[in-house]
Structure 1
Amino acid sequence: MPRRRSAWLPDQHGAWAMLTVPFLAGTLPAPRPGWAHAALFAAWLLGYAAVFHGQQWLRLRRVARRRPDAAARHVRPALVPGAACAVLGVPVAAAHPWLLPAAAAAAPFVAVNTWYAWRGRERAVANGLAAVVPACAMLLVAARLGGMPAAAAWRPALACLLYFAGTVPYVKTMIRERNSRAYRRVSVAYHAAALAVASCLSPWLAIPFAAYLARAAVLPGRSLRPPVVGALEIACSAALLATLVPVFGGR
């Protein structure tokens, strides 16, 4: 049974934090969080699982033509969460029709991710950045759903974008490009710029973003195992959420 469940759950651990933190950062400070947030959050996660397995089906249909079972095992994990996503999402969209153009705005980014998956290049930097944008934009969706004005929501949304975009080059320096000095320089330069921008959004954001810069400068080259890298990023994501909610919750 655990093996069967793991076959249905996408193993992209960083993606779960990227899906969760912006949504909660838009929901928890909102004046009127409610049932629609719970339904939309569940639909959001289920939709991600469905898209992930659909993309894997496309990829394996292309690269594993001699093993049709390799692609076939992703069919049910795509269709069942996709159907559940529709069951939960349609009533919310019916009550809030503005969610439909918001979903349409995410479609080009999903198309980019799908193309990279089909080509077997999910680890490309552009693919990672394309995934970050709609995930962080969900903060704006959750905030509006809860009655938070856009003027108050764009700052935490930008903070999420700054952090999660930075994880793309940083994780490269820790795993696949651990020996690349060019990647390290790009990562450190990006995090220094992100610290400056985040500090303008709120002085309190300088605290976590200074820590993000320090990890980008110090940790590469220390041969940390991927589970340790993932655990550190979960802690960094939690620190961002813990900062955003009180800082922007009263606005």
Structure 2
Amino acid sequence: MKGYGETIKQIRISKGYTQKHVAAHLLTQGAYSKFENNNTEINLGTMHGILQRLGIPFDEFYYIQNGYQYSQRDEIIIQFYRVNTHDEVLLEGLWKKCQHYLKENKDDLQINHIATILDGLIILAKTNDLEQAKTIVEPVWYDLSKHNQLFVTELYMLTTILFLFPLPTVLQIKQFILRHITMYENFQNVSRLHIHLLMNITFLLMRNKNYAKARTEILNTIILCKKENDFALLGICYIRKGICLNRLGLVGEKWIRKGRNLLNVLEQSTLLETIEQDMKRF
């Protein structure tokens, strides 16, 4: 892995900038030259100024600095954001990555929490035992509930395990999550996080036969899915909307067909199989 200065030099030359241009009002050209040659360090504020001048955000800089790939830790977190909680193979693959990382970084609490959540989800995928899965992930909720502020990865953790808890606890966790989501309203990926939160709430309301409330949550989720162009989750919402309408004595078949067709067009066969199981349950 290159030094920070060396990576900055690579980016500067690629953009055709001089040292004088990048260093202006931030460092003397001599100090800047030493930094590029990895002979000195600079503070975070100066680094931020240099990256702004180069037009490179911090996350892209670290990606470049790491050889145009994510670090092992970043890769785990990114995959966790995207993981299908019903796909046992993907869950086990990510769990193994966590264990490999934790061999050298056993005190990383965040990755330990993710590994614990994956443990619970794998048990659920294998046995469909909600109680056992809940028992495994409960320590994560107890730990995070003590925090005064949650950050994006912690919010994803809670959203992922939400459906394992009884409804009264879920509604408590929901308010806890929403209180923190508002602080990240315009941050990347948070709209998708909000969608997953509502999806899990919807599932739990349907499991508790509260189809009227579930329908309301689904309508809100459909609006967010369209805004984010998340058509796979939109397909699930249509199917759930149809189920709720049917259970309320209304006509829901057209929405179920619409959702199935959408998932088929997107070639989401595994996801459709999972939703078919939900349909049998309800």
TM-score, normalised via structure 2 length: 0.31
Structure showing greater Rg: 2
Q: TM-score, normalised by structure 1?
A: 0.34
